[in-house]
């Protein structure tokens, strides 16, 4: 069985960078945005739409096409969503079966649970996440700390909601992970080196 490392992460905690560095050090595949692109390619649905569906818990639990001829992007149809979920599931399994890899997000810890992934959750305190967003995200440059904080909270709320919808479990609950790493004031490069040795 291939070595699968999944990374759940709070927004601004450096989880994505950690995953990338980990994959580089271990010289294994890295999947993040690639999953969205692959789903879009297989389903012929726009990448932007796929990403939106995978970032948010759907607001409806039944097809809302009944009596309508048009499904607006802001309120996506469940049949399309279900197609995207199914593709995501299949793609994750394909990736996991292809080679050793690091997968960021996508509830991969749960969807690949029968392949026994090593499950990491990355988190940090709010001040540290705000500081990291300010350095990393171009679109955070003109925002106040309060605005960045609100954005972090909104995105994490969406992630939590989506994770619960897909897995039935609480996002960030340490019992769902093998290790939880606090990146407050940490150098992600060093954390990646240490975790690589561990894995």
Q: Which residues bind a second copy (CB under 8 A)?
A: 121, 123, 125, 172, 174-175, 177-182, 194, 197-198
Which among 8, 3, 2 has a CA at the least distance from the CA of 180? Answer: 8
Query: Per the structure block, which two tokens stand in for 136?
Result: 């990393």
Compute CA 67 distance to the chain's CA centroid, rounded to the nearest angstrom: 34
* φ/ψ of residue 103, rounded to 5: -120, 125
Q: Is 36:148 a contact under the CB 8 Å cutoff?
A: no
In this complex, which beta carbon is closest to a second copy, that of residue 49 or of residue 129? Answer: 129
Nearer to a second copy, 55 or 125 (CB): 125
Cβ atoms 131, 183 nearer than 8 A = no
C-alpha–C-alpha distance, residues 97 and 4, integer Å: 9
Residue 17 or 109 having the CB closest to a second copy:
109
At residue 164, φ and ψ (nearest 5 deg) are -65, -35
**What Rg, from alpha-carbon coordinates, does the chain have?**
17
C-beta closer to a second copy: residue 16 or 119: 119
Q: Between 73 and 179, whose beta carbon lies closer to a second copy?
A: 179
69 DSSP 8-state letter: S
Q: How far is the CB of 124 from a second copy (least distance, A)?
A: 8
Measured from the CB of residue 58, what is the shortest distance to a second copy in angstroms? Answer: 28
69's tokens: 């001829």
């Amino acid at each position: 069985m291939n070595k699968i490392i999944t990374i759940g992460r709070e927004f601004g905690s450096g989880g994505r960078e950690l995953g990338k560095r980990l994959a580089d050090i271990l010289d294994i595949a890295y999947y993040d945005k690639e999953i969205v692109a692959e789903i879009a390619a297989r389903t012929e649905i726009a990448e932007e739409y796929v990403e939106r569906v995978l970032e948010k818990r759907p607001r409806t639990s039944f097809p809302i096409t009944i009596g309508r001829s048009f499904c607006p992007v802001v309120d996506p149809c469940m049949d399309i969503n279900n197609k995207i979920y199914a593709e995501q599931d299949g793609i994750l399994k394909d990736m996991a079966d292809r080679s050793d890899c690091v997968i960021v997000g996508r509830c991969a810890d749960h969807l690949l649970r029968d392949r026994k992934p090593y499950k990491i959750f990355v988190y940090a305190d709010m001040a540290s996440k705000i500081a990291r967003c300010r350095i990393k995200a171009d679109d955070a440059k003109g925002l106040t700390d309060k605005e960045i904080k609100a954005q972090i909270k909104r995105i994490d709320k969406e992630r939590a909601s989506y994770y619960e919808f897909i897995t039935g479990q609480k996002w960030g609950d340490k019992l769902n992970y093998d290790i939880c790493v606090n990146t407050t004031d940490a150098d992600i490069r060093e954390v990646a080196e240490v975790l690589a040795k561990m894995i």
